[in-house]
Chains A and B, each alone.
Chain A
Amino acid sequence: MNRMPVIIVGAFLAFFLSWVGLVATPYAQIGRAKPDIDDITKDQSPPPLPGTSIQGSAVFASNGCVYCHSQQVRGGNSSDIGSGGADLERGWGARRTVARDYMHDRMAYFGAVRNGPDLSNIGARQPSVDWHYQHLYQPAVVSPGSIMPPFRFLFEKRRIAGQPSADAVKLLPPDLPEPGWEVVPTNEAKLLVEYLLSLKRSTYPLPEAPEEKPPQ
């Protein structure tokens, strides 16, 4: 192999082949998803993200949530390389995640390590706004044993001026603010929680992913 053109052309072709296979083909196969529309109700499936939750997706990204939380339910069918259905039994979803589930999001946050639970359906599992604020502010209190860091920088602690704010976080001891003070979510926290509440990825039917178990 003393001729560089042979090496370069060979390396180019081998690499180009992988580009066709791994970049171009998946874009053609699953890149152009359209929602499934019910003939009678005209409901879209997956439903579009509500309100400003797409901006919450940016807050989710900027704080690296994906480094501990997956958004991918592994199925229980023997044809999947799944977790034997454990994800389903944990109540993380009623079926495996499919490509269309991500179609309205900014980015697909599949996840890497599960230091925390899967979030594909966190909006269905924990529908309470108060719970999410408490949990972001004091995770180890709300969820004993959790190794999630407290996200207090998404909140503002301020002196109560007149009436307490309507959106003041209902904190639990030992993190109660001093009398006369309150903790309120910043705009980022509100967007993030709105996004988390919008994550209900197996609550709608898709023909390519029948329910595998009733949701728990």
Chain B
Amino acid sequence: MTSTAVAPVAPAEHPAAAAVQAVRASDTLAAKRERAAIDASLRLPVLLFFGSATAWLLFGSLLLVIASVKLSIPGFLTGTEWATSWMNVPLGWLGLSLPASFAGDSGWLTYGRVHPAGWDALAYGWAAQAGFAVAVWLMARLCRVPARSRPFLYSAWAVWNTGMLFGTLGVLAGQGTSVPWLDYPQHAQLFLFVGAALVSVWSVVLFRVRQPGPLYVSQWFIAAALLWFPWLHATANLFIFHLPVQPAATGPVHWWYAQGFITLYLTPVALAAAYYFIPKIVGRPVHSYALSILAFWALAVFGPWVGMTRLTGGPFPAWLVSAGVVAAGMMLIFVVATGINHHATMRGRADALRWSPTLRFVVVGATVFTLGSVQAAFMSLRSVAQVVHFTHFVEGHDFLMLLGFYSMVMFGAICYIVPRLMNWEWPSAELIRWHFWLVVSGVGLLWLALSMSGFIQGLALNEPKISFITTVNYTKIFLWGRTLGLLLILAGHVAFAASFVLMSVRAGAIRRRPTLLAMTPAEEDAPPAGTAAAI
């Protein structure tokens, strides 16, 4: 634990107060200046990543809502007559109209394109980019040097978003590959690879010039994530799309990549953030150094194998699936070690969840991570997999990990980082509250609907006396729940984006203290003891 990773914030009566006071004494003006210089150096690159991530987040959730409605109303937005007739109104004023061939049905919004385009916009546009920003910022803070070689980051941002644009347009226009998580055409994938590699190279450069001092847990996770992701991505694309091989052999590689993207890139980045922000806000060092070492190596050793559980019942060597099941079980070491560590760090300081937006998002995300990982281990069991394989249950799990765990941690990180970059506090606590509760209820509903749907669907599919169309009919009510959940999530994301936009123009009045969740305006004028730095 370096001194930079601890903010002195515990109230005086707290048992940890003595330790915190000691740290506070060491938090000199020089240290504060150092942090301010680092934040200033990263203002533009990190805000660029967060800004475009937010845009893709909105776009992706909107596409997923459209796709979800289509599962209930298959004809929804299939034709472009509506768009054509709308566009013809302003064109009519100019005496023009679209050619007749433009009207009629278009493939751009068919389910099989909108769904992957929306999902990948969330995964790569939002999740991966927010991850870059958080990794870059944490790395600079923990290396205690202002960012240099910033053109690396600007190019990474430009290249990555160009790839996203090509990829999304490609999938919607019908160049998608139909390999889930790798839907983008190869030219877009090349851009993504270069973007990710630039971020990795930049981190290595920064790390080489760090100030001497012990490494912090978050640095291990970020270093590993930035090593694994470009490697995973390049290998998967090369082996799946370029090597001449019989197609069935790409199955293991594909799930090695797709699960690896979650387990080996998103998860370590989110945990790096959790390991940083939880101790920082509760004002107490990480409970156990040994547990975090255990967690790290358990992730590194077992994490890459977990994806094989997705190959259940497929035409693959049986040992692959068995290896995946074992790894999914062993991953519980990683999950339990992480969970205990965070819980023990938090113990006695749960009240901070009421006022700190960062802590609330991060802790909810970390809790969902624990529960979701237990669900994953459970899903890998043979008797369960037999039922839930090929059903909505698995999809519900993917949504839970992406939106309930990873996104929440990123939102928490953004709540903390952006005010420091902008020198401005969040303009509206109300918007943060709406954001939080809409996303929590939306993810909860989405997960419940898909889990119940998938379980019933799976049992019905395994009973051949039930006709196939009946298995579809069983899920229809839950598909509406899926849409409603995604709508709530979209609304939450809109609240977040609104907050972000207001922040970027420094809207609202000057606040002398951080924007907290559990305070009335009257309280804001009279700071309560012990909460001063507790954002």
**Chain A residues in the interface with B (C-beta under 8 A):** 1-4, 7-8, 10-12, 14-15, 17-19, 21-23, 26-27, 29-33, 60-68, 70, 72, 74-75, 79-86, 89-90, 96-103, 105-117, 139-140, 143-154, 157
Partner of B248, one of A18, A108, A146, A150: A108
Could you say which residues of chain A place their CB within 8 Å of the CB of B247?
102-103, 105-108
Query: B434 interface residue, CB < 8 Å from A?
Result: no
Say yes or no: B315 contacts A23, CB within 8 Å.
no
| Listed residue (A64, A80, A139, A154) with the most chain B CB atoms within 10 angstroms of its CB | A64
Query: B154 interface residue, CB < 8 Å from A?
Result: no
Could you say which residues of chain B place their CB within 8 Å of the CB of A79?
318
| Listed residue (B219, B318, B390, B392) with the most chain A CB atoms within 10 angstroms of its CB | B390
Known: A10-B297, A112-B395, A147-B472. A15 touches B231 (CB 8 A): yes
Say yes or no: A15 contacts B300, CB within 8 Å.
yes
| Listed residue (A1, A26, A117, A157) with the most chain B CB atoms within 10 angstroms of its CB | A26
Query: B166 interface residue, CB < 8 Å from A?
Result: no
Say yes or no: B224 contacts A7, CB within 8 Å.
yes
Distance of A16 from chain B, by nearest CB (Å):
9
Say yes or no: B115 contacts A64, CB within 8 Å.
yes
Instruction: Give Cα A10–Cα B183 distance, bound, in whole angstroms.
Output: 31
Q: Which 6 A-B pairs have the closest CB atoms?
A: A64-B112, A18-B304, A89-B464, A99-B248, A108-B247, A152-B105
Place the interface of chain B in its size category: 35 or more
Instruction: Give Cα A16–Cα B434 distance, bound, in whole angstroms.
Output: 44
Say yes or no: A1 contacts B178, CB within 8 Å.
no
Nearest opposing residue in chain A for B245, CB measure: A31
Nearest opposing residue in chain A for B170, CB measure: A62
Known: A65-B178, A100-B246. A23 touches B297 (CB 8 A): no
Say yes or no: B223 contacts A11, CB within 8 Å.
yes
| Listed residue (B74, B394, B457) with the most chain A CB atoms within 10 angstroms of its CB | B74
Query: B279 interface residue, CB < 8 Å from A?
Result: no
With A83-B461, A102-B315 known, 19 other A-B pairs at CB within 8 A are A7-B224, A11-B228, A15-B264, A22-B305, A26-B249, A26-B251, A27-B245, A31-B245, A66-B112, A72-B314, A75-B313, A83-B313, A97-B314, A98-B315, A103-B248, A108-B251, A112-B394, A112-B395, A157-B104
B residues 465-479 touching A (CB-CB < 8 Å): 468-469, 471-473, 475-476, 479
